[in-house]
Amino acid sequence: MRKRRPTADFGVLLDKPNKIEHYEKRFGIIAIDRGYITAEDLVKGLTIQVGEDVRKIPHRLLGEIFFDMGLMTDKQVDEVLGSIFRKSR
């Protein structure tokens, strides 16, 4: 059975750099708090993200990176994003 990608609309963040920064910090902390990833996983994900940015590969958010790494399911990514956006309103 093939996993589906998270359903969150990442496009809502593209015109708001401060929201992206807020999302990035909050996503990792919430995912750790919920037991979905470890602190070491967060460091690996951030290392991948920065490395891709340096190489001019299109920017990926942490949820997508953790999903692609097989560390989080689509449901877990959606749950973390839902938690972030409920708090930021």
Instruction: Give me the residue spans of the domains in the chain.
Output: 15-87
**Predicted local confidence at residue 84, as pLDDT:** 85
> What is the token pair recorded at 19?
């929201």
CA within 13 Å, CB half, 18: 1
pLDDT tier at 4, thresholds 50, 70, 90: low
**Mean pLDDT of all residues in the chain?**
82
- Kindly state the average pLDDT of the residues 33-47: 96
- The CA distance from 37 to 46, in Å, is 13
Question: pLDDT digits over 13-23, tens only?
Answer: 455 555 555 55
